[in-house]
Amino acid sequence: MSDKDLIDLQEIAPAEVAEIDLYQRREKIYTRKIEGLYQRVRLFSGWPLLLGYLLLPWANWDGRQAVLFDLPARKFYILGLTFWPQDFPMLAFLLMIAAFGLFAVTTFAGRIWCGYTCPQTVWTSIFMWLEQKTEGSRNQRIKLDKAPWTAEKVARKAAKHGSWLFVGLVTGMTFVGYFYPIRELVLDFATLSAGKWQLLWTLFFTLATYINAGWMREQVCKYMCPYARFQSVMFDQDTLIVSYDKSRGEPRGSRKRSVDHKDLALGDCIACELCVQVCPTGIDIRDGLQYECIGCALCVDACNSVMDKMDYPRGLIRYTSEHELQGGTTHWFRPRIIGYGLVLCLMIGVFSYNMFTRIPVEFTAIRDRNQLYLTTENGDIENIYTLQLANMDNATQEFDISISGIDGATIIGETSHTLNGGEVRTITLRVRVSPDVLDKPSTELDFTAASPSTPSLQATAESRFMKPL
C-alpha cells in the first residue's frame, strides 16, 4: 500500500462536554392558603375518608373488631364477612374493579382522585394546615426560614415537627391496628409492653407518613407515583381537566381595577401569580396541562377570587375539556365512557353474584399414601382418609359427612361434627368397601360435608379408593 492510499490522522480537539445533573434538588414550595368551592368539596370528601380510616378499627361486629386482617390465623374479617386465603381471587377481582373504576373516572374528569381523595393529598393537606397554624402564612413562613435561629424559631419549628410526628404516630398505629387488635395495641403501647413487630411496623409507618407528607410532598406525586406517568394515555379531548383559557386570558398584565383592560389590549389575566402560589406541586397552570397537576383545583378557587375582585366573569381557570377550549362542546356520553360504564356494571354484577352465592365452607380429602389399602378379616377393603373441614362462616355450624360414588361404601369413624365460626378441623376416617363392587384398582369417591339446618351450606371433596391389583 502506497503512502497516498493512507488516511492522514488529525488531532481533533474534543467538543466541550456539559455536565448534566440527573438529580434535581427539591426547592421548598410555600403554598398560600385559599378558600373556595372546590376546597369545600375537598374538605367534605377527604375528612369522611380520614375519619373512616381512623375510626373503623375501633368498631365492633359480633364481639370482635369489625375490620381485622389476621395474618397469623389467615383470616380477614370485614364487617360480617370472613375471608380466607382461598378467597384471594375475589380480592384480586375487587382490586381490578377499583382499578377499572379509577380509569373510568380519569377518562371522564382527569385526576380528581389525586386531587380529592388520594391519601398522599389528604395527609399532605393536614400537614400543610399544621404548618400554617404553627409557622404562619406563606410570607411569614418564607421570612421565618430566612431568619437566623432564635428561641421563637426553634419553638415554632418544634411545634410543627412535633405535630407532624403525632399525626404520623396516630396514622401508623391505626394502620397496624388493621392487622393487630387495636385495643390491645394501644394498651401495649400505654404499658410499654408492645412486641418488637408491633413497635417496628408502627415506627415504620409513622416515619413514612412524616417523611412523605411533611418533607417529600409533591416529590411523591411527581417522581414516585406511577399514576402520574400513564394518566395521559387515558385522556381524550373531552376529558375534564383544570385548564387556563388562553384565548380569554392573554395577553396578561397588571392593571388597575378602574381601568378597562380592553382599552389596554389586555386579557383577563392580571398576572398576580396567585394560581402559582397556591399550587401544591409548584407548577404554573397557564403553561398548559402538565403531568405534575393533580387536579386539586386550588388554582381555580384562587383565580375565581381574583376575578370576583376585578368584576370579571369566573372561569378563566376552570374544569373544562380541550374541545371546549377550542370553541367546541364537550361530549359527555362518548363510546369510551359508555364502554367503561358497561364493563364496570358487568364486573360489579359478577362480583356481587359471587359474594351472595359464596358458600363459606372449605372441604378437602386426602387419602393416606403411606398405606394404599387394608384388608379386613372378612375380606373387605379399607382406605384411610384425612379430611380437612373449615367453617368459614362466623356462626357455629354442624356438619354431617357422607360418601358417594361406590355402592355399599361405609364410613368408619365420627361423621357428625360441630365447628365454631372460623374453626378448621382435621378428621381421620376409614372407608370400607366390599371387593365385589370394585371392578378396577382405583375408583372415584366423593366426600360431602353438609349442614342439616342449612341445606345450601355444603361442600364436596373428590378422592380415590384403592384396592389390590
Residue 46: per-residue pLDDT: 84
Three cell numbers written together for 131? 404548618
DSSP states along 204-268: HHHHHHIIIIIIITHHIIIII-THHHHGGGG--TT--EEEE-HHHHPSP----TTS-TTTTT--S
Residue 423: per-residue pLDDT: 82
Using an 8 Å Cβ cutoff, are 354 and 90 in contact?
yes
Count of other CB atoms within 10 angstroms of residue 120: 19
Dihedral sign, CA of 117, 121, 127, 128?
negative
Burial category of 445 from C-beta neighbours within 10 Å (exposed 0-12, middle 13-18, buried 19 and up): buried
Residue 6: per-residue pLDDT: 54
pLDDT in tens, 439-459: 888 888 899 999 888 888 889
Length of the chain measured in residues: 469
Work out the angle between the directed axes of helices 335-356 and 88-109 (0-180°, nearest 10): 160
Closest CA to 395 of 69, 85, 81: 81
Contacts of residue 322, defined as CB under 8 A and 6 or more positions apart, other chains included, come to 237, 238, 239, 241, 243
Count of other CB atoms within 10 angstroms of residue 362: 18
Alpha-carbon distance of 317 to 296, in angstroms, equals 12
SS3 28: coil
CA separation, residue 186 to residues 62, 101, 174, 196 (Å): 21, 36, 9, 14
Residue 8: per-residue pLDDT: 53
Residue 9: per-residue pLDDT: 47
> DSSP code of 6?
S
Three cell numbers written together for 319? 374544569
Q: For the chain, give the mean pLDDT.
A: 87
Closest CA to 322 of 298, 350, 355, 288: 288
Contacts of residue 275, defined as CB under 8 A and 6 or more positions apart, other chains included, come to 244, 284, 285, 286, 299, 302, 303, 317
Bridge partners (DSSP) listed for residue 424: 390
Residue 300 main-chain phi, psi, to 5 deg: -65, -50
Residues in the chain where the model's pLDDT stays below 70:
1-24
Closest CA to 318 of 332, 330, 335, 334: 330
Q: In angstroms, how far is the first alpha carbon of the chain from the final one?
A: 88
Alpha-carbon distance of 118 to 111, in angstroms, equals 10
Residue 266 main-chain phi, psi, to 5 deg: -115, 150
Alpha-carbon distance of 271 to 42, in angstroms, equals 26
Region at 395 (left for phi over 0; alpha for psi -120 to 50; beta for the rest): beta
- Fill in the amino acid letter for 84: W
Alpha-carbon distance of 33 to 47, in angstroms, equals 18
Burial category of 301 from C-beta neighbours within 10 Å (exposed 0-12, middle 13-18, buried 19 and up): buried
Residue 442: per-residue pLDDT: 87
Using an 8 Å Cβ cutoff, are 50 and 122 in contact?
yes
Domain coordinates of the chain in residue numbers?
Answer: 26-358, 361-466
Residue 73: per-residue pLDDT: 80
Alpha-carbon distance of 275 to 242, in angstroms, equals 12
pLDDT in tens, 59-86: 998 788 999 998 888 888 888 778 887 7
Superfamily of domain 361-466: Immunoglobulins (2.60.40.10)
Residue entry with cell 379509577: 102
- Say what the pTM is: 0.80
Closest CA to 247 of 331, 298, 318, 309: 318
DSSP states along 94-138: HHHHHHHHHHHHHHHHSSHIIIII-HHHHHHHHHHHHHHHHH-SH
